[in-house]
Amino acid sequence: MKEDEKREFLYGFKTIYAPEYGFINTTMYDRKKRNENNSQPDYLKKIVSDLSESLQDILVDKFLNEHDAGNAQLDTHLIENINLNEAALEGINPGNSKRKRSLRKSNREKLIGLPLDKKQFLSRGLPFDIFNETENILPKILLDHFKKFVNVNKTVDNKIPKNNKNKECNQSKESAPSLKQFFSKQSMTKSEIRTLQSNLMQKYMNNKVNPCENFYDYACGNWKNYFTIPPDRTTYDTFEMVRENLDFVIKEILHEVKIPKLTVEFDHKFRSGEVANNMLKSKVTDSTSALIKVKHLYMSCMNEKAIDKRGGNPLKIIINQLGGWPMVSDNWDESKFDIIWVLAQLRLLNNDVLISEWVGPDMKNSNEYIIHLDQTSLGLPSREYYVDITNRKYLVAYRIFIRDVSLILADKKPVLQQDINDIVDFEVNLALIMSSSEEKRNVSDIYLRTDLQTLPLYFPQFDWQKYFGIVLGNHVIPSAPVACYCSEYLQKLIYLISITPDRVLQNYMLWRFIRHRASNLDSNFSAAKQKFYNILFGREKEPPRWTFCVSQVNSNMGMAVGALFVRKYFDKSSRNDTIQMTERLETAFRHTLLENPWLDTHTKEYARMKINEMDLKIGFPDFILNERQLAERYDDIEIHPEFFFENILSILRHLTRSEQTRLGNRVNKALWSTSPAVVNAYYSRNKNQILFPAGILQPPFYHKFFPKALNFGGIGVVIGHEITHGFDDKGRLFDHEGNLHLWWRESSIEKFYQKATCLINQYSSYVLPSVDIPLDGYLTQGENIADNGGLKQAYRAYGTWVKKNPGLVWTTAFRSSQKSYEDICACAGYF
């Protein structure tokens, strides 16, 4: 490829991906000194640090005692007190006064809402495949330009153009209207589309910079002068702009949906053996289509007046049905406590507490649905929040959050501080017995396959028969296979349960359920959550209500929302164009494989087979355009326009039923694992499948009228990224059929580790100056491999296209070498 053609492709890539800054400092988290009187097993005593008295002084009872939830001044004093004592507390671990803390990518992803774990998949209405992880598709900032990151605590400097200084630099003023023009109801010509995109690109360029000296600043130097991180967000970049625009579009579509008149019937029938429905059933007189249910769900979420009027009453009903929450109730009956029953009932409500259970494809036989068991999630984003004492304020804020929510449900009656302490202490113990992210990275090392009959032999103290009898109901099969990824955790968990008082267990389990449902209740709960998120994530205020409701509808009824979006804004030509582009990228990958000097012939042949059989899904599943089939997907969901909380519970029950009933069935690999109207892309290891929803096939990543340099440098890099995931440190463990299978020869595995180690060391050496935290090259190696491979394959595919379509000319400003950018892939030398 000629030098000018290289510059054209690179310009398309950088203009789209470079505006990415402002990561919130969410590094690790502290914990409270353990109560020395607590009975603890030896393995806990060894790993629980004895913190200094200075930390204990900060957590004195008076700060968490029975004061009003609105006493924000005292809470602020508590957090500030912790910050002021940072220097003194460094003495807890000598030599760590300037310790370097890893920026765990998983924590960043929690903030920007890209990757979803198993629980998030299910809670958002997405069929879950254990290895269909939503890998982060954001190419990382070109590494020699980390200095361009902007500290999130600073405002935009004085480089804002004069005519823009008086404008409010936020998404509603700038990005949404700009990108929204691409969705104009009036059809735009090819010339108009290109002109619009050109204007946006030129607006964010800095023409004063020599592109041969700093291509980043040249392509995107003015972007940060137009945007700050909005107060209702934790990060802001091009992907957030596209998501924001998509939310605007979905809101308009939802408002356009016409609804018929309603009649209401009351149904308070209790079902034997499970939590009562207590649903207000709605009967739609003209239609019961999925699109009407979507509209009703949105209406119920937007009806803040009705939500505020009901307060916490909808939640209190469910709490009572689950046995009560002792910390806010005087009539809890400990004699009736049954931990197995409570855990199973919470699972029916799609909540995994203590144990994470789901039905999905077996990783060694991707055609078979089996039961999976793993360690649970926690109330804070990750295990590290509990085991690292360098950021102790987050656990304190967590205690305050529990107190604020409990006081709302207790109608301002006193809440025992000891109950709050016990909840957090128990969760700290949970975190301590969990495996770390590093220990769980190689899934083949932790995979244990058994069946329901044999499971009690491994963990005899837990009544598995009763648990699965409730969760699976009539679908219980004694010989049903079970894959366990947490054997050591389950053994320690059973012991931890045995030494924990029933009151603490019930308080904790109910808190985890309440924590998830706080978003579906009135403004008092929202205010408590925002107060907590301000400390945890740095979010200064809640998002607009309509934004929250669009997210709720798209997360819980994504296929129906996708149908509305696709019918109005997505055409078949874009789908076909993307398929052709993907085929070019796959061809580029095959050629790179053949040229690879360190892979042996056997491994190359299996890799070629894997790329040949990689399944591609673009845009949307066809069934969503069939009204009858779409309605059947949501047939057993009850939705009423005035009862938001009950609507969400109905959806959660539906998700659990749909998943659990798959046990014993053959896996349908044609199923989509995400909704169409989302800005993301996916690779499923268990299906050897790449998926690109309609939501990401939008400007500035892609448009059928864009020049090929922009499309290859935009969505082409994303496509290459997902293809490469099939061969990263996790993807390479799975064969062409999606099964865990050792298909690499030992010599090639050794070379792979050498290359991976080089890349790990390279990324670990980069530090974000705004927060003085190094990247964790080990935990991010999969994404780093995919980023490098994606850029390389898209660049090569574009070069092939240029050879077949000669005659393109680029400005002479790009004539000099771009070796610094090509060197990004030099260390890895992958595919």
The CATH number linked to 357 is 1.10.1380.10
Query: What band does 110 get if pLDDT is binned at 50, 70 and 90?
Result: very low
pLDDT of residue 603: 96
Q: How far apart are the C-alpha atoms of 464 and 190, rounded to whole Å? A: 62
pLDDT over 70 at 31, yes or no: no
In order of 626, 638, 639, the CA distances from 265 in angstroms are 29, 12, 12
Containing structural domain, residue 391:
313-542
In the structure encoding, which two tokens stand for residue 327, read together? 């910390």
**Contacts by 243-249, CB closer than 8 A, 24 or more apart:** 243/679, 244/171, 244/175, 244/176, 245/175, 245/176, 245/179, 245/180, 245/183, 245/698, 246/565, 246/677, 246/679, 246/695, 246/698, 247/547, 247/550, 247/551, 248/176, 248/180, 249/180, 249/183, 249/565, 249/569
Q: How confident is the model at residue 275 (pLDDT cuts 50, 70, 90)?
A: very low
Q: Structurally, how many domains does the chain consist of? A: 1
Q: pLDDT (tens digit, 9 = 90+) per residue, 169-216?
A: 344 344 444 566 676 655 788 999 999 899 988 999 999 999 999 888
- For residue 151, what pLDDT is reported? 32
Q: Is residue 370 part of a domain?
A: yes
Shortest CA distance to 579 belongs to which of 618, 611, 610, 621? Answer: 618
The pLDDT assigned to 9 comes to: 60
Residues 6 or more apart whose Cβ sits within 8 Å of residue 530:
539, 541, 542
Is it true that the peptide bond before 314 is cis, omega within 30 degrees of 0? no
- Residues 704-735 have pLDDT tens digits of 999 999 999 999 999 999 999 999 999 999 99
Quick one: what percent of the chain has pLDDT higher than 70?
Answer: 71
Query: Per-residue pLDDT for 32 more than 90?
Result: no
Half-sphere exposure of 266 (CA within 13 A, CB side): 1
Is 147 within 8 Å of 580 (Cβ atoms)? no
* Phi–psi pair at 733, nearest 5 degrees: -75, -15
Residue whose token pair is 């040949």: 612
Q: Is residue 362 part of a domain?
A: yes
Q: Which residue has the higher pLDDT, 821 or 396?
A: 396
pTM of the model: 0.78
The 10s digit of each residue's pLDDT in 113-137 is 333 444 444 333 333 333 333 333 3
Classify residue 45: in a domain, yes or no.
no
Separation CA 682–CA 581 (nearest Å): 17
Question: Per residue in 631-653, pLDDT tens?
Answer: 999 999 999 999 999 999 999 99
Which three-class secondary structure state does DSSP give residue 374?
strand
Query: Under a CB-based contact definition with an 8 Å cutoff, are residues 606 and 743 in contact?
Result: yes
Tell me which H or E stretch contains 721: helix 715-725
Longest Cα separation, the chain: 82
H helices present in 95-164, as ranges: 105-112, 118-123
Mean pLDDT of the region 94-109: 34
**Which has more pLDDT, 145 or 71?**
71
φ/ψ of residue 721, rounded to 5: -60, -50
CB within 8 Å of 640: residues ≥ 6 apart: 264, 279, 280, 281, 282, 296, 300, 646, 647
- Greater model confidence, 339 or 13: 339
Alpha-carbon distances of 585 from 63, 366, 612, 617, 788, rounded to whole Å: 59, 26, 12, 15, 14
Q: Would 328 be classed as within a structural domain?
A: yes
In this predicted model, what pLDDT tens digit does every residue of 326-362 receive, in sequence order?
999 887 899 999 999 999 999 999 999 999 999 999 9
Asked whether 103 and 97 are in contact (CB, 8 A), the reply is: no
H/E element, 239: helix 238-256
Q: What is the pLDDT of residue 330?
A: 80
Instruction: Indicate if the alpha-carbon torsion angle 454, 455, 460, 465 is positive or negative.
Output: negative
pLDDT at 5: 60
Give burial (CB, 10 Å; 0-12/13-18/19+) of 616.
middle
Q: Does a structural domain hold residue 632? A: no
Question: Is the pLDDT confidence value at 55 over 60?
Answer: no
Do residues 177 and 252 make contact, with C-beta atoms less than 8 angstroms apart? no
Active site residues: 722, 787
Domain membership flag for residue 464: yes
Q: For residues 242 and 701, give the distance between their C-alpha atoms in angstroms, rounded to a whole number.
A: 9
Q: Please tell me whether residue 253 adopts helix, strand or coil conformation.
A: helix
Residue 531 has pLDDT above 90, yes or no: yes
Contacts 24+ apart (CB under 8 A), 208-217: 211/7, 211/813, 211/814, 212/813, 212/814, 212/816, 214/145, 215/10, 215/11, 215/14, 215/818, 215/821, 216/14, 216/18, 216/142, 216/145, 216/148, 217/148
What secondary structure does DSSP assign to 267-336, as a single string? --PPPTTS-----EEEEESS---HHHHHHHHHHHHH-HHHHHHHTTHHHHHHHHHTT--GGG-S---GGG
Please, which pLDDT band fits residue 444 given cuts at 50, 70 and 90? confident
Residue 206, domain member (yes or no): no
The encoded tokens of residue 608 equal 């070629």
Closest CA to 467 of 585, 338, 587, 589: 338
Q: Please count the residues of the chain.
A: 831
Q: What does R_g of the chain's alpha carbons equal in angstroms? A: 27
CA distance 471 to 488: 23
Is 400 inside any structural domain? yes
